[in-house]
Amino acid sequence: MGKEIKRILYGGDYNPNQWPKEVWKEDMRIFKDARINSATINVFSWAKIQPSEETYDFSELDEIIEMLNKEDYDIVLATSTGALPAWMARKYPEVERVDYEGRRHKFGQRHNACPNSEVFRKYSVALAAKLAERYASNPHVKCWHVSNEYGGTCYCENCEKAFRIWLRKKYGTLDAVNKAWNTEFWGHTFYDWEEIVAPNSLSEGLWDERSAFAGLSIDYKRFNSDSMLQNYMDERDAIRKYDKEAVITTNLMGTYKELDYFKWAKEMDIVSWDNYPAYNTPWSLTAMRHDLMRGLKNAPFMLMEQTPSQQNWQPYNSLKRPGQMRAQSWQTVAHGADTIQFFQLRRSRGACEKFHGAVISHAGTEDTRVFREVQELGKELEALSGLIPGSRNESKAGIIFDWDNYWGLEYTSGPSIDLRYEDQIHSYYEYFYDKNIPVDMIPVDADFSRYQIIVAPVLYMVKEDMKESLEKFVREGGILVTTYMSGIVDQSDNVYLGGYPGPLREMAGLWVEEIDALAPEQKNGVTMDGTHYSCNLVCERMHLEGAESLGVYEEDFYAGEPAAARNRFGKGRVYYIGTQLEKAGKAHILKMALEEAGVESLIPEETGLEVICRQQGEKKLYFVMNFKDEEQKLPAVFAGRKDLLKGTDLTEETVLKKYDVCLIEK
């Protein structure tokens, strides 16, 4: 391809239109010193480019692109459609969203367009087409950035009408809709399509945005995700008419709940995402989100945004400590990123993001701690740019992440409000992270044969074909680990009758009679192999049907009953965990399962360091990083090797301080 990206992109969001032109030249000098080689431009310029319905003005954007061309930048060109111009909202108020409370918004903020507004779709596609027609032939435009951080939900009349059309395509008849949503409950049977309304606080909403009819609300989540995906595809297709070579993407947001990113990824050339951990976000959770972004296409991804110093929109916006940004960036690359990009390159003067970090601060000089760290990282990336792209992460373990389950588990009114999907997935991912066992985050329709072990926590919703796929995986020798609140409902949130875990019952060799919810101040205990482990949140009362007990409850009327079990199924095994075990309890079972699966750590010794491997053919690159407060000794397996970042020889006495990173080729 003529527009192939051949180096690690290092740059980020750049808004020279916010500054006088004499600043532009100074920016180019400073950025060059930091080894910045790319810029994401035009993200929020719709109002500037299209000041009225019939008028377009590309003169300033032409100048910006010409300046970047002369500096040999790779350009990520955005379509600007993430925020409406004021004239559109004034003339066509129906383009604005209606929120969960039923209020139609006026002009303001961003991500403010109804995805089913024909006006919005007309003008957003027209703008994308005009941009592509004008700049597609520019060899420096290597990537198109459609809109920005798609998100939110609209509940307006446009969306209600579109939802009814979506339902007709999905179900065909109202009888099928009524059956799927169990509308006999509370006498909600629909006899006309026009009777179906959006499920917000004015209709089916309960507390905490939960729903009286979860099947309806889950379908609305699917519909909303599909609607915004159609917006993306509309603009993508408009661009592709003029640019056949550049990659097209949009920036995702990790484990963002509202959009089914596995479905989105099928329509994206490359996944990109924005990484903004808080001051207290566990490093394992950040790593999991990177692995999820890589898993969306099972391929390397772009880091479209991170801050070089601090966020501005979180409750507590701490500075990144010396070395933290560099270590965080290398962690991102280790987990599959082929770019490191910042929001933003120059700090804005006003509005709500004026305190969001940037390469160039309000002081306007390169004589800052943050700039020196950006410069150091830039030199390292430049030196290694030919080594990393093309390499991939390999794993024999997979953890299922599924947006339908995300929505379903958190819509269900019981057994506990504290059952949060991302928390549950992370609590199992954390074991793999701590043990430096590579793991892929995978969809429910993944090729399971690529893995030796699959972990499926809280697999609440078992959709069509999932039972057969999981049974085939286990029958052929795979190890499956699943937990409480699994196999409960179908794709419409209707319970599988006959005992939990429904379709998984035969595989698991047990059935669950009751699920006890424990309040935050309550706990129980489980004894496994003579060792006590605490448990909380939920305790399932299970009956074994061929499975062997791995541990029993210690307290309450179900003391002595099994809390976890293992069952032989075909050539493989199913591990079922019926309660939320403390970390050591989870480790007890996962260690057994991994040993049985034959899956091991990347290195043979225990360490507090994070170790990740990317490989290309026989060449392996090991990223060794210290995110602990204490110094960590380098694992002996790397002694005698060279740190490619510093050019120093590593020995058995090498110690990594907090935020130190080594890159080792083996």
Give catalytic residue positions.
149, 305
Residue 110, annotated as binding a ligand: yes
619-625 and 632-633 beta bridge pairing:
unpaired
Closest CA to 460 of 497, 417, 504: 504
DSSP 279: T
Angle of helix 583-597 versus helix 421-434 axis, rounded to 10: 60
Residue 292 contacts residue 333 (beta carbons within 8 Å): no
DSSP 664: E
- 162-169: long-range pairs with CB below 8 Å, 24+: 162/116, 162/223, 162/227, 163/196, 163/198, 163/220, 163/223, 164/193, 164/194, 164/196, 166/219, 166/223, 166/226, 167/193, 167/196, 167/219, 167/223, 168/193
Per-residue burial over 186-196, b if 16 or more Cβ lie within 10 Å, else e, is eeeeeeeeeeb
Sequence-separated (6 or more) residues with CB below 8 Å from residue 62: none
DSSP 272: E
Beta strands in 467-518 (DSSP E): 479-483, 510-517
CA dist., res. 492 & res. 489, Å (int): 7
Termini Cα distance of the chain: 31
Q: Is the peptide bond before 51 cis (omega within 30 degrees of 0)?
A: no
Residue 535, annotated as binding a ligand: no
Q: What is the DSSP string of 122-173?
A: HHHHHHHHHHHHHHTT-TTEEEEE-SSS------SHHHHHHHHHHHHHHHSS
| Residue showing tokens 């003339």 | 91
Residue 154, annotated as binding a ligand: yes
**Residue 559 CA: distances (Å) to CA of 312, 519, 576:** 50, 18, 18
Residue 352, annotated as binding a ligand: no
Residue 393, annotated as binding a ligand: no
Residue list, annotated binding site: 110, 114, 148, 154, 156, 159, 313
Can you say which residues are annotated as belonging to the binding site for Zn(2+)? 114, 154, 156, 159
Binding site for substrate, residues?
Answer: 110, 148, 313
